[in-house]
Structure 1
Amino acid sequence: MAEARSELPGSAALALLGPAPGAPCCPHGPALLFVKTSQGKEDGRRFYACSACRDRKDCNFFQWEDEKVSETRLAAREEYNRSHQPFFTHRQNVDRYKNFVLLPLSKRRFCQECQQLLLPAEWKKHSDHQFLCDITTAQLKSPSQLLYPLENKKTNAQYLFADRSCQFLLNLLIDLGFRRVLSVGTPRLHEMIQSKASQEEEFNVRSLLLDIDFRYSQFYTEDEFCHYNMFNHHFFGGEAACETCRKFLCEENGERVIMVTDPPFGGLVEALASSFKKLMAMWRETEKEEMPMFWIFPYFFESRILDFFPSFSMMDYQVDYDNHALYKHGKTGRRQSPVRIFTNLTPSMIVLPEEEGYRFCTVCQRYVSSGNQHCEICNSCTSKDGRRWKHCALCKKCVKPSWFHCNNCNCCTLQKHSCEKTDTGCFVCGKAGHKRSACPSLSRSRAKCIFHFILISMLLFLLYRPDKKKGQKIRKRIKMGICKRLAMKHAIFSKRKVKNKKKRT
């Protein structure tokens, strides 16, 4: 995997080195290897961190690469990882589902707190929990509507496709001739395919869901769902689950296959790209071409995705979600959904609905949004966000309509911005060469604050110490001192009053 850097505040930079052989594991599978480098230093110290969680609050796994871990700590880590695994295995969940569907409607219950289908023998354990009753077959066929969506932006981020987008994607896949869909983190699309396949005899599209949310194992068999971490290409079910995926991709029955993925938008693009290439490599064991793919992601990640997949192009179609306040189709300006489809298919093949305002550009040979006007200078439909962009002669490219060219920055940006080339001084002392956090004056003022805090603490301790007699003496001295100061101030004030009266007379 190619090294990818992301700048951190200050002089440090964080680089993702990717999966490493023999990497330690956390509950989310093998950790990823990172390196933190400081300015002026070529080599930084390497460390392992959780692949799925970028926030230490979600998973606090951390280990230096050269750190020697004791046997006791390794045993404790294994026990911790084991304790954080699901209570039931996938096979047990499949058996439980078979027993659940045989129950009469009045005995079908779903625990909302545990997010679990309940059999009658388990009701007593969940008696103080909230649960849904009379679970219908239609609800079982739509688990994404039954389960609470996990909305951690950096880990799960289950923003589920709206019916409009889901139906469009499915119709597009059928029109393009795909009959097998590898659904990586797209449960709503998977369940729509599964539901149609069970209801319509002529419907011949199949789907395999790869997802980190193990709750879906309650509703799908091992041939329909694999517990999978897309950040480190880890199959929690081991080699058997990996073989299920390989078999699904490499079936030689003439059916075309495509991968559709909708990763968490806060995830590392580098890690995702590495996993997707490994899934593509499974398919390429029997094929010579690049595996067709739809990567659904915000348009502002375009350059990062093209770094890893140069053959991809971005479509103008706005993907919207049911449970996201902003990512909705039909809104205007900056409130439009920024989520797009990146694909390695020929752009002219992706037909977008004209009734929603999309049109075909004969020059670009692709469908674009109504506001995306063709620029004669750039010779392209340049808008990314659905609005009409304007061409800047100085930047030699089209920019957002709200941007203006800044002579200091020598580029187009927002009108109210901080110029990069303006040598602004420190907010504390006004001097250049350092920031507020590193200001010497700030450190001196902090030292004064600490000194005053200690002094006040000592006084309070002396005032309210257990020794009553000494405490009373100290209080009397302090009171006498305060009285003396007040008397002196009063005398000075009185003298000034007398002088002022004499001057007036």
Structure 2
Amino acid sequence: CPLGPALLFVKTSQGKEEGRRFYACSACRDRKDCNFFQWEDEKVSEARLAAREEYNRNHQPSFTHRQNVERYKNFVLLPLSKRRFCQESEWEKHSDHQFLCDISTAQLKSPSQLLYPLENKKTNAQYLFADRSCQFLLDLILDLGFRRVLSVGTPRLHEMIQSKASQEDDFRVRSLLLDIDFRYSQFYTEDEFCHYNMFNHFFFGGEAARETCRKFLYQGNGERVIMVTDPPFGGLVEALASSFKKLMAMWKETEKEGHNNQEMPMFWIFPYFFESRILEFFPSFSMMDYQVDYDNHALYKHGKTGRRQSPVRIFTNLTPSMIVLPAEEGYR
């Protein structure tokens, strides 16, 4: 389908399989968002295959990543009065879309605040880290001595790292963003962003994008890598775990020695009630007490604006005793 290879599903009732198995979109749980459907044992006609290919082609972004990088360079050269930005799309006809004018260069460095979040809970679920949670994650990464961050579906963390790297000469951390939202290709080069579906480990940019990721994971000069991921909470844990294991395997391949019995260090940010599911696939993980907050989520905000405490936690394969939680926020 337009989001890459489909996944094989089966309906279950009380643990028992019911009915025929079928293929459906890996990322969209709702048929309204992607109507791909095929029975496992179905014979598909040539005509239907051709129609499907045509449909997939028509549902790809209107510009390539490289074209978007060029558009960005041209946009920056425009006088402020001519810098207009649609928060929802890149089309010419945006009659009912949210528009911003007089875009400053500083605003362009914070795309997650410029773009209108895609809040479809099961596909994109762009609930963005609150500043305090993002800062805590970055401080923790620095304290633990990591110098490369593979940011999988964490645009705000990537943005914070990019921003600090451009402003502070002695800031040595680098980040690569893997995200399903292609709008980010308007702000980041091909070395900073790969269009990626974390439900089926699909790189939309093909082998070139895989190579970008591989190169980034290669630990030159002893620079340690950590992966930080914040998947949609409605996503299937099994599909996510499969993709994350493939990213871990990619990391393992980059260095023949030294990784023998190790896993790539990882922070998986997810609600605590999925703990048993995550441990099923990653027995070495443990859950931290830190509550992760979000800016644009009615329930998971910090303090008075949120209706209750956030259930979102950090699962990690790092030794828990290495992780110091912020005392000023009441953690001991």
CA contact (8 A) 2:230 2:269 kept: yes
Change (3 A) 1:344 1:334: farther
Counterpart in the other structure of 1:99: 74
- Measured after TM superposition, the shift of residue 111 of structure 1 is 2.1
CA contact (8 A) 1:327 1:336 kept: yes
Counterpart in the other structure of 1:68: 43
Structure with the bigger RCO (C-alpha within 8 Å, sep 6+) is: 2
Q: TM-score, normalised by structure 2?
A: 0.92
Sequence identity percentage: 93
Alignment equivalent of 2:299, drawn from 315, 326, 329:
326
- Measured after TM superposition, the shift of residue 126 of structure 1 is 5.6
Question: In the aligned structure 1, how far is the partner of 2:207 from the partner of 2:39?
Answer: 28
- Measured after TM superposition, the shift of residue 146 of structure 1 is 0.3
Change (3 A) 1:68 1:295: same
Question: In the aligned structure 2, how far is the partner of 1:43 from the partner of 1:337?
Answer: 35
CA contact (8 A) 1:141 1:191 kept: yes
Change (3 A) 1:126 1:327: closer
Change (3 A) 1:56 1:130: closer
Question: In the aligned structure 1, how far is the partner of 2:40 from the partner of 2:143?
Answer: 49
Single out whichever of 86-95 and 102-111 deviates more from structure 2.
102-111
Change (3 A) 1:303 1:96: same
Change (3 A) 1:38 1:152: closer
CA contact (8 A) 2:228 2:267 kept: yes
Q: What's the secondary structure of 2:43's corresponding residue?
A: coil
- Measured after TM superposition, the shift of residue 64 of structure 1 is 0.8
Question: In the aligned structure 2, how far is the partner of 1:341 from the partner of 1:40?
Answer: 28
Question: In the aligned structure 2, how far is the partner of 1:183 from the partner of 1:73?
Answer: 37
- Measured after TM superposition, the shift of residue 329 of structure 1 is 2.7
Per-residue displacement from partner, 1:172-212 (whole Å, max 9, x unpaired)? 10010000000000000000000010111111100000000
Instruction: Give the alignment of 1:101-140 within 5 angstroms.
Output: 101-113=76-88, 131-140=99-108
Question: In the aligned structure 1, how far is the partner of 2:142 from the partner of 2:63?
Answer: 36
Change (3 A) 1:130 1:232: closer
Change (3 A) 1:314 1:287: farther
CA contact (8 A) 2:127 2:294 kept: yes
- Measured after TM superposition, the shift of residue 107 of structure 1 is 1.6
- Measured after TM superposition, the shift of residue 332 of structure 1 is 11
Report the structure number with the largest CA radius of gyration: 1
Per-residue displacement from partner, 1:333-368 (whole Å, max 9, x unpaired)? 981100000000000111001111xxxxxxxxxxxx
Q: TM-score, normalised by structure 1?
A: 0.61
Q: What's the secondary structure of 1:139's corresponding residue?
A: helix
Change (3 A) 1:254 1:84: same
Per-residue displacement from partner, 1:283-311 (whole Å, max 9, x unpaired)? 11144791000000000000000000000
CA contact (8 A) 1:213 1:227 kept: yes
Counterpart in the other structure of 1:275: 243
Change (3 A) 1:346 1:128: closer
Per-residue displacement from partner, 1:262-286 (whole Å, max 9, x unpaired)? 0000000000000000000001114
Single out whichever of 284-293 and 180-189 deviates more from structure 2.
284-293
Change (3 A) 1:183 1:83: same
Change (3 A) 1:225 1:70: same
Counterpart in the other structure of 2:228: 260
Instruction: Give the alignment of 1:351-500 within 5 angstroms.
Output: 351-356=324-329
CA contact (8 A) 1:37 1:45 kept: no
CA contact (8 A) 2:300 2:307 kept: no
Change (3 A) 1:308 1:288: farther
Change (3 A) 1:124 1:87: closer
- Measured after TM superposition, the shift of residue 131 of structure 1 is 2.6
- Measured after TM superposition, the shift of residue 330 of structure 1 is 3.6
Alignment equivalent of 2:212, drawn from 227, 232, 244:
244
CA contact (8 A) 2:298 2:307 kept: no
Question: In the aligned structure 2, how far is the partner of 1:127 from the partner of 1:332?
Answer: 32
Question: In the aligned structure 1, how far is the partner of 2:85 from the partner of 2:17?
Answer: 56
Single out whichever of 292-301 and 124-133 deviates more from structure 2.
124-133
Question: In the aligned structure 1, how far is the partner of 2:64 from the partner of 2:195?
Answer: 11
Question: In the aligned structure 2, how far is the partner of 1:337 from the partner of 1:163?
Answer: 15
CA contact (8 A) 1:318 1:329 kept: no
Single out whichever of 250-259 and 318-327 deviates more from structure 2.
250-259
Single out whichever of 310-319 and 99-108 deviates more from structure 2.
99-108
Per-residue displacement from partner, 1:374-423 (whole Å, max 9, x unpaired)? xxxxxxxxxxxxxxxxxxxxxxxxxxxxxxxxxxxxxxxxxxxxxxxxxx
Change (3 A) 1:311 1:196: same
| Alpha-carbon RMSD | 2.5
Question: In the aligned structure 2, how far is the partner of 1:329 from the partner of 1:129?
Answer: 30
Change (3 A) 1:166 1:39: closer
- Measured after TM superposition, the shift of residue 239 of structure 1 is 0.7
Question: In the aligned structure 1, how far is the partner of 2:103 from the partner of 2:189?
Answer: 19
CA contact (8 A) 1:315 1:347 kept: yes
Alignment equivalent of 2:147, drawn from 173, 179, 183:
179
Per-residue displacement from partner, 1:91-110 (whole Å, max 9, x unpaired)? 10001111111112122111
Per-residue displacement from partner, 1:302-322 (whole Å, max 9, x unpaired)? 000000000000000000000
CA contact (8 A) 2:299 2:307 kept: no
CA contact (8 A) 1:193 1:205 kept: yes
Alignment equivalent of 1:152, drawn from 113, 116, 120:
120
CA contact (8 A) 1:50 1:61 kept: yes
Q: What's the secondary structure of 2:321's corresponding residue?
A: helix
Single out whichever of 90-99 and 286-295 deviates more from structure 2.
286-295
CA contact (8 A) 1:228 1:234 kept: yes
Give unmatched runs, 5+ long, in structure 1.
1-25, 114-120, 357-505
Change (3 A) 1:36 1:123: closer
- Measured after TM superposition, the shift of residue 36 of structure 1 is 3.6
Q: What's the secondary structure of 2:324's corresponding residue?
A: coil
Question: In the aligned structure 2, how far is the partner of 1:91 from the partner of 1:134?
Answer: 24
Change (3 A) 1:297 1:43: closer
Change (3 A) 1:127 1:44: closer
Change (3 A) 1:264 1:150: same
Give unmatched runs, 5+ long, in structure 2.
258-262
Instruction: Give the alignment of 1:309-320 within 5 angstroms.
Output: 309-320=282-293
Per-residue displacement from partner, 1:63-103 (whole Å, max 9, x unpaired)? 01111111111111111111111000001000111111111
Q: What's the secondary structure of 1:124's corresponding residue?
A: coil
Change (3 A) 1:164 1:42: closer
Counterpart in the other structure of 1:81: 56
